[in-house]
Structure 1
Amino acid sequence: MSGMSTVCRGSRARRAERGATVGALLAAVVTGALLAGCTMTGTGDDGRGQGNGRRDDRTSAPPAGSVLAVKIDNVSAARPQTGLDAADIVYAEQVEGGLSRLMAVYATKFPEAVGPVRSARESDLELLRQFDEPTLAFSGAQGKLLPLIDRAPLHAETPEDTDGAYFRGDEKPVPHNLYLRPDDLIDSPPGPDALTTGFRFGPAPSGGTPEDSRTVRYPAARFTFTWSGDRERWLVSMDGTPTITTDDVRVAPATVIVQRVTVRASRFHDYLGNNTPYTETVGSGRAEVLRDGKVFDAKWERKSATDGTTFTTTDGEPMNFAKGQVWVVYTGAR
């Protein structure tokens, strides 16, 4: 843990220094980045940048056993995404304006690239406590949230914290074109044992109701999961459009969890003044688990932030998931 503490202290010092000097240095940084081909770092959802993508005073890297969690942009301008199909788990949450954002978690394999990478939210810190020293890759965050990220037990990695792991693509406009090369951040994926989520995989329980399609709606976004008997997977569509990666792969998880949670107002707002929703992932409630072309009513429980989330059937038996990618879509309790 000492290595992680060193990284966090360095981040705090760098951010304090940037706050005092960014106005004077921004023009020079932009010019230097353009000449050198360096990646500019997004500080939040407005797409404005600071830093040149290098961290020359870096004292340690994320450990080899670290789960990689990447915040992924999910507005229409960010699609198609890259590397989404390779994630072990994809979490979907509501953000400002009723839109959605994704967090992709990688443990068993790393794709060549992941993105577009966007900013972090307060809810992410609670969600990631279930993992041991996770690495959070994100484009930045609003200033009042950064101290909380610095104090969190994780490895916070923005473009300005890394040496060349991020790059800008040329097919989408800023801020929807920031990508991460995972292999340049962590030496190797930690393996499935690092997924300390509480999830169980195995045969489906008895019962269940046949389900061809399920749609989850946010105020300004929606997810649809359509069962494919040929692929034995749930085909993902977002806002009515099939979710296909830049490698022309249809995203198709084996299990989808519609998890009913409390979504409340947080203490933070975006740069337009919209309140940032806070998704509570500690507690208990109802869920629907989609697997094998059926929907199963379930209950979820997460006793503390350091625990994973367990799912049980309505009879109290453990709820097994189908082997493969898992999507967890957080939606308001009803």
Structure 2
Amino acid sequence: MRRGRMRTLFAAALILLAVFGTAACGLFSTPRAGSPAPPEQQPATSGTAPPSAGIPSPGPPVLAVKIDNVADARPPVGIGAADVIYVEPVEGGYSRLLAIFASHQPPTIGPVRSARETDAVLLPQFGHPTLAYSGAAPELLPLIAAAPVTDASDGHQPAAYSRDESRTAPHNLFLDPAKLPPGAPWPGQNRIVAGPTPGGGTPTDHYEVTFPAATVGFQWSAAEHRWLASMDGAPFASVDGGRLGPPTVVIERVKVRESAIRDAAGNPSPIAETVGSGAVSVLRDGRSFEGTWSRPAPDAAATYTGPSGEPLLPAPGQVWIVLTP
């Protein structure tokens, strides 16, 4: 009975989060009704497998990991293997990453930090993923407990986490994903579409998103056919994989509002609202494609369309999604 009440609480909370404003974030699926079914997601190192007729079969189990992204936490470990990386605004004007792993799981991932309210609405589209994080505000814990996730925080799964003493706490917590319970399969209807380069677009060699206390930049490399990532003006590289850079970057313009939750310094925790619709820029193949995102519900993936309603699909490989006002 208690679990049933918690699920009811979670559903009500999601409705409240959604109705305060419109925004979205999600994955490249085609519209749910009256449109072709979404093709399958690509592994970060391989091309696209065409979907079968109808809804594609479910994908691999999904692991979601919250990644610290302040200067003291860099360089990260393992995130080059993620299928999707979200860049979220957090308190103090900084950003934090949510890395989604399905096709591959590296031996070590981190540094791991705390979850946010934004995650509670992002994650239902992945079915019932495992969520790895390190703590959360006490006010947020009931929402996580009621969410459709397997809670795999350091408090619930301590054997999967360890500290790197060569780094400064709290930016030194790392995860062994093999020691976590697996998530549920990625729902077939929400798996990523990859496709050919859309028509049109604007030639673009650099794009930068500015948060109050952080910047995220992308420089197009024609030689490597990907957008080389920078954080705060410096190249962003992982310990195990070198310079990070996805073939596709999505810039979603979302409504960001203040949560009632505050950090230790009194800064409000922002919520990037991720259900609704709005403007989007899809960066791929050295061009920027302007359009609209639409995500009707927390358990749905976003769709991305151009001015004439044509789908804006990513290139095969890793996708970054930046949530920005």
How would you bin the TM-score normalised by the shorter chain?
0.7 to 0.9
Runs of 5+ unmatched residues, structure 1: 10-63
RMSD, matched Cα: 2.1
Q: Report what 2:88 is aligned to.
A: 93
Rg comparison, structure with higher value: 1
Give the length in aligned residue pairs.
272
| Aligned pairs for 1:261-280 within 5 A | 261-280=254-273
Match of 2:290 among 273, 288, 297: 297
Q: SS in structure 1 opposite 2:243?
A: coil
Hey, what does 2:323 align to over in structure 1?
Answer: 330
Amino acid at match of 2:159: G
Work out the CA distance in 2 between the residues paired with 1:196 and 1:75.
Answer: 34
| Contact 2:235/2:243, CA 8 A, preserved across alignment | yes
Whether the 8 Å contact between 1:68 and 1:107 is mirrored in structure 2 is yes
Query: 3-state SS of the aligned residue for 1:127?
Result: helix
2:98 to 99, 103, 110: 103
CA distance in 1, matches of 2:196, 2:286: 13
The aligned counterpart of 1:208 is 201
2:238 pairs, out of 245, 255, 263, with 245
Residue of structure 1 equivalent to 2:135: 140
Name the SS for the 1:201 alignment partner: coil
Whole-angstrom distance in 1 between the partners of 2:77 and 2:99: 11
Q: Counterpart in 2 of 1:47?
A: none
Distance 2:109 2:316 in 1: 22
Question: Amino acid of the residue matched to residue 207 of structure 1?
Answer: G
Aligned AA (2:225): E
The yes-or-no answer on 1:283 pairing with 2:276 is yes
Separation of aligned partners in 1, 2:70 and 2:130: 24
Residues 137-186 of structure 1: per-residue CA shift (max 9 Å, x gap): 00010111111111111111111211511111122111000011111114
Is the 8 Å Cα contact of residues 122 and 274 (structure 2) preserved in structure 1?
Answer: yes
For residues 69 and 259 of structure 2, the distance between their equivalents in structure 1, rounded to whole angstroms, comes to: 21
Contact 2:60 2:103 in 1 (8 A): no
- 2:147 is matched with 152
- Corresponding residue number in structure 2 for 1:82: 77
TM score, norm. by length of structure 2: 0.80
**Larger relative contact order, structure 1 or 2 (CA cutoff 8 Å, min sep 6):** 2
Contact kept? 1:65, 1:194, Cα under 8 Å: no
> Residue 149 of structure 1 aligns to a residue in which SS?
helix
Change (3 A) 1:186 1:249: farther
Cα drift, residue 252 of structure 1: 1.0
Which letter maps to 1:214?
Y
SS in 2 for 1:230: coil
Q: Percent identity?
A: 47
Aligned to 1:34: none
Equivalent position SS for 1:321: coil
Write the distance in 1 (CA, Å) between the matches of 2:188 and 2:263: 31
Matched with 1:122 is 117
**TM-score, length-scaled by structure 1:** 0.77
- Aligned equivalent of 2:64, options 66, 69, 87: 69
